[in-house]
């Protein structure tokens, strides 16, 4: 049964990691619907490595160009004039807020933030934020126009995803739209910015697998592999989708799911989980 559940959660992770609907929220909510135990923050962090491996595979050319350009810039003044040098620094600087806050808020992330009252509320609030960003954003600037100031703002937005329900991609994309970037540019950068934080968090949480979490090593490996396969397909679909469509369907879905969670918790149909405070 653990392996069956791990496969289901791997599919959920792969489907929701890149969509602006919060994979960590879904991994906390859906086990409640099925009557399963909360898989825990460690399981959630580790199987996200699978979806980030999908990002590494899909964007390997971009990653190699940025990484090698940044390394060349370390040793060559001339190479520091290249856009790859700047983009490398943008990703590094933009990753710092979520790393620092993740370490400082580790206990709350593992417990209080996984309360379904919190998750339902953040699904709704950030859904509204995404809807406003979709409506007011100019959506005209390419990713090449990125500045250090904007990289820091995008990094701060990504840090909000430490709370399940916010959505790493949703928060970063919303900020990108507010700053005037194209949908595809904001989405692409959100994927690249997530790599250091997600892979780092997954590796850091490996030590906790098999402890207080619902799943051991075997099911976690299975869930990670499944999330990789599904995530790769979702990346391909989403980048094509956002080039011609708005994020409005995801806004509606977030608000609807958040409202459903709050109603079910409020009526006692499902338990909220960890007590806040």
Name the percent of the chain in helix, strand, coil, to the closest 5: 80, 0, 20
Looking at residue 213, its pLDDT comes to 56
Looking at residue 275, its pLDDT comes to 46
Picking from 100, 71, 76, 107, the residue whose alpha carbon sits closest to that of residue 87 is: 71
Segment 209-235 shows an average pLDDT of: 81
Looking at residue 209, its pLDDT comes to 66
Segment 56-79 shows an average pLDDT of: 93
- Cα distance between residue 122 and residue 101, in whole Å: 18
If one compares 244 and 166, the residue with the highest pLDDT of the two is: 166
Segment 21-36 shows an average pLDDT of: 89
Banded model confidence at residue 258, pLDDT cuts 50, 70, 90: very high
Mean pLDDT rounded to a whole number for the chain: 88
Looking at residue 276, its pLDDT comes to 40
Looking at residue 143, its pLDDT comes to 87
- Cα distance between residue 188 and residue 235, in whole Å: 9
pLDDT of residue 152 exceeding 70: yes
CA distances from 24 to 17, 34, 148, 258 (A): 8, 16, 28, 13
Looking at residue 277, its pLDDT comes to 35
Picking from 265, 194, 223, 275, the residue whose alpha carbon sits closest to that of residue 5 is: 223
Beta-carbon contacts of residue 180 (< 8 Å; ≥ 6 apart): 137, 138, 139, 140, 141
Q: Phi and psi for 45 in degrees, rounded to 5?
A: -65, -40
If one compares 190 and 219, the residue with the highest pLDDT of the two is: 190
Triad 168, 172, 174: Cα angle to 5°: 120
| Six-digit token string for 159 | 């840090």
Percent of the chain with pLDDT over 90: 58
Q: 28 and 273 in contact (C-beta within 8 Å)?
A: yes
- Cα distance between residue 125 and residue 118, in whole Å: 11
Asked whether the CA dihedral 176, 62, 164, 131 is positive or negative, the reply is: positive
- Cα distance between residue 97 and residue 226, in whole Å: 29
Segment 262-267 shows an average pLDDT of: 95
pLDDT of residue 67 exceeding 90: yes
Chain CA centroid to CA 1, Å: 27
Q: Phi and psi for 181 in degrees, rounded to 5?
A: -80, 155
Segment 220-246 shows an average pLDDT of: 91
pLDDT of residue 212 exceeding 60: no
Percent of the chain with pLDDT over 70: 95
């Amino acid at each position: 049964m653990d392996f069956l559940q791990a496969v289901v959660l791997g599919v959920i992770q792969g489907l929701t990691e890149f969509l602006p609907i919060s994979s960590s929220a879904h991994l906390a909510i859906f086990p409640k619907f099925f009557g399963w135990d909360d898989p825990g923050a460690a399981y959630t962090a580790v199987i996200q490595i699978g979806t980030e491996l999908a990002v590494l595979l899909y964007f390997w050319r971009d990653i190699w160009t940025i990484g090698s350009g940044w390394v060349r810039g370390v040793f060559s003044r001339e190479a520091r004039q290249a856009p790859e040098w700047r983009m490398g620094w943008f990703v590094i600087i933009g990753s710092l807020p979520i790393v620092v806050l993740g370490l400082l808020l580790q206990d709350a992330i593992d417990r209080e933030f996984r309360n379904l009252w919190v998750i339902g509320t953040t699904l709704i609030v950030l859904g509204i934020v995404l809807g406003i960003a979709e409506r007011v954003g100019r959506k005209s600037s390419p990713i090449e126009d990125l500045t250090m100031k904007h990289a820091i703002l995008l990094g701060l937005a990504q840090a909000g995803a430490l709370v399940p329900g916010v959505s790493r991609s949703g928060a970063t994309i919303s900020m990108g739209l507010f700053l005037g970037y194209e949908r595809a540019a904001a989405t692409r950068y959100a994927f690249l910015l997530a790599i250091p934080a997600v892979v780092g968090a997954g590796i850091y949480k490996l030590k906790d697998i098999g402890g207080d979490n619902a799943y051991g090593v075997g099911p976690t490996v299975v869930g990670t592999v499944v999330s990789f396969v599904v995530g790769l397909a979702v990346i391909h679909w989403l980048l094509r989708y956002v080039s011609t469509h708005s994020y409005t369907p995801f806004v509606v879905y977030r608000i609807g799911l958040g409202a459903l969670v709050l109603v079910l918790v409020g009526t006692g149909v499902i338990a909220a989980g960890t007590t806040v405070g």
